């Protein structure tokens, strides 16, 4: 087999959880696959679109948990493609928003594999949308920043004080992925550049029946997330756009958590 794009792999975003949020293109790719390599955060209901004869291999990738080594996943994909399999790499959310899709594309292309990417709805968008609020409401934000709260080993991570100062000056919404485990450190940094009254939404299991959320302020964030026992996977949205959430109640004198039904 020629090493020059003789095989094709499809990276598919499965969306934030609700299987009805899949794109038509994603459904077609899943149905056409003979091998699906599936991340932990993909809803099992999505696999109902797979062929009955397809092989489904779960390759867990979740922050803070035991994960399948990336090198093993890469090798598995390449070997299967060289054997003529139609491979779909199925990822939660969007492959290119903190899904390591870029790394996998580079590795596959270096091996002579053509890659197609099917985007999915990322949890950072779905989380706040589920509360009836916009990430970029023009009255409250001039833009949005997607940022990870989980630095890779050897990386110093995000400069939270600098990001907070930039967000305040440029009127930006901050959407933080994988930030629950480092919440105290993140809050400490953000409070150096943003007011304690800045609205915040934390959404766990966005779009799923098990979704839970907390609406609060930056100054009360750590206390309220801990008291409500929110865990990963959760999205943290920081900024005035959170005021657009259906259940938001501004209590200037006594900021408090507001749970959404």
Residues that are catalytic: 39, 61, 178
Contact 35, 86 (CB under 8 A): yes
Q: Is 19 helix (H, G, I), strand (E, B) or coil?
A: helix
Other Cβ atoms within 10 Å of 136 Cβ, number: 13
Residue 30, H or E segment: helix 24-32
**Burial label, 219 (beta-carbon count in 10 A; 0-12, 13-18, 19+):** middle
Q: Are 33 and 86 in contact (CB under 8 A)?
A: yes
CA 99 to chain centre: 7
Q: Is the CB of residue 120 less than 8 Å from the CB of residue 12?
A: yes
- Contact between 248 and 210 under an 8 Å Cβ cutoff? The reply is no
The whole-angstrom separation of Cα 81 and Cα 95 is: 19
Q: Is the dihedral of CA 96, 101, 105, 107 positive or negative?
A: positive
User: What is the DSSP pairing of strand 87-91 with strand 234-238?
Assistant: unpaired
Contact 14, 43 (CB under 8 A): yes
């Amino acid at each position: 087999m020629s090493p020059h794009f003789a095989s094709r792999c499809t990276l598919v975003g499965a969306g934030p959880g609700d299987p009805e949020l899949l794109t038509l293109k994603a459904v077609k790719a899943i149905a056409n696959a003979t091998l699906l390599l599936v991340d932990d955060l993909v809803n099992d209901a999505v696999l109902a679109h797979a062929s009955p004869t397809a092989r489904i291999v779960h390759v867990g990738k979740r922050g803070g948990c035991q994960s399948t080594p990336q090198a093993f996943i890469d090798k598995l994909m390449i070997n299967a493609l060289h054997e003529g399999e139609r491979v779909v790499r199925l990822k939660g959310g969007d492959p290119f928003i903190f899904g390591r899709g870029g790394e996998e594309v580079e590795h596959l292309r270096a091996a002579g594999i053509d890659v197609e990417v099917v985007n999915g709805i990322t949890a950072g968008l779905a989380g706040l949308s589920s509360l009836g609020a916009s990430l970029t409401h023009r009255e409250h934000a001039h833009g949005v920043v997607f940022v990870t709260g989980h630095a890779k080993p050897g990386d110093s991570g995000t400069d939270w004080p600098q990001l907070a100062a930039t967000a305040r000056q440029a009127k930006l919404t901050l959407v933080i992925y994988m930030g629950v485990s480092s919440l105290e450190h993140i809050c400490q940094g953000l409070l150096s550049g943003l007011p304690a009254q800045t609205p915040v939404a934390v959404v766990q299991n966005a779009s799923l029946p098990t979704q839970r959320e907390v609406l609060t302020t930056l100054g009360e964030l750590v206390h309220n997330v801990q008291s409500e026992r929110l865990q990963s996977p959760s999205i943290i949205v920081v900024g005035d756009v959170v005021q657009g959430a259906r259940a938001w109640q501004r209590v200037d004198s006594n900021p408090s958590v507001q749970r959404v039904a």
